Amino acid sequence: MTRPLAEQHVVITGAAQGLGAAIARAFAAEGASLGLIDRDGAALAALGTELGARTVVCDLSDADATRAAIAELRAAGPVDTLVHNAAILKPQPFAEVSYEMFRATLDVGIDAGFILAQAVWPDMVARGGGALIFVSSQSGIKGFADETAYCAAKHALEGLSKCLAMEGEAAGILSCTITPGMAMQTPMSEQNYPPELKKKWVAPAALAPAFLRIAATRAPGFSGARLNAWDLSQEETT
């Protein structure tokens, strides 16, 4: 059963800025109830005040803190849609990547995705379905030099999503990954994009309609797929 967006409780990670904030604003405009997670307390508090959303400051590399954060948000009501957008990208040659940085990147990218999805799974089963949306990238499709940890995390996220799509089908739970599909201007991309990509990037808000469409329709063809936010958003607005 798909609930109207205005009746959904949506949890978004990495919500304080960039794509996460754009997604939060888009859901808020549709009347959804929001739970926002980020480690940047000041920016998260400002967005929470702007949108009337519940917020939890959390470092998702800490498994116990992640469990506590989602428990706090679930206490406000069962979760219908989870958008796991948080990630760490620190480009470094493989020989220079510390184990601590590798582990932190996986902790945020894949371990937190597992913890959060497993926590909201019972809510979605009880409510006749839900949507698990994991933000991926080209780094989840192929390898890039100097992105050992980030590519490993995104590739793992692709596999997790496919498995959850299969296991969730009977309960009406959609699971998918979504790539931006277009260069976008975010704090992360400002630090890492080469000049040629910066010439054509778009605002994150241009990609947000795709997330609304997934949560609102839970189209069968979406589950288990890797979706393109730019293409879906263009279809939604034309």
C-alpha distances (whole Å) from 15 to each of 60, 124, 129 are 12, 22, 23
The residues annotated as belonging to the active site are 150
- How many whole angstroms separate alpha carbon 96 and alpha carbon 30? 45
Q: Which residues contact 64 (CB under 8 A, 6 or more apart)?
A: none
Q: What is the CA radius of gyration of the chain?
A: 16
Q: Which amino acid is at 74?
A: R
- Exposure b/e, 60-94, CB count within 10 A at least 16 = b: bbbeebbbebbeebbeeeebbbbbbbbbbbeeeee
State both tokens at 145. 């030099």
Q: Is 156 left (phi over 0), alpha (psi -120 to 50) or beta?
A: alpha
Strand boundaries in 109-216, DSSP class E: 130-135, 173-179
Nearest-5° Cα angle at 21, 20 to 23: 65
d(CA 92, CA 149) in angstroms, rounded, equals: 9
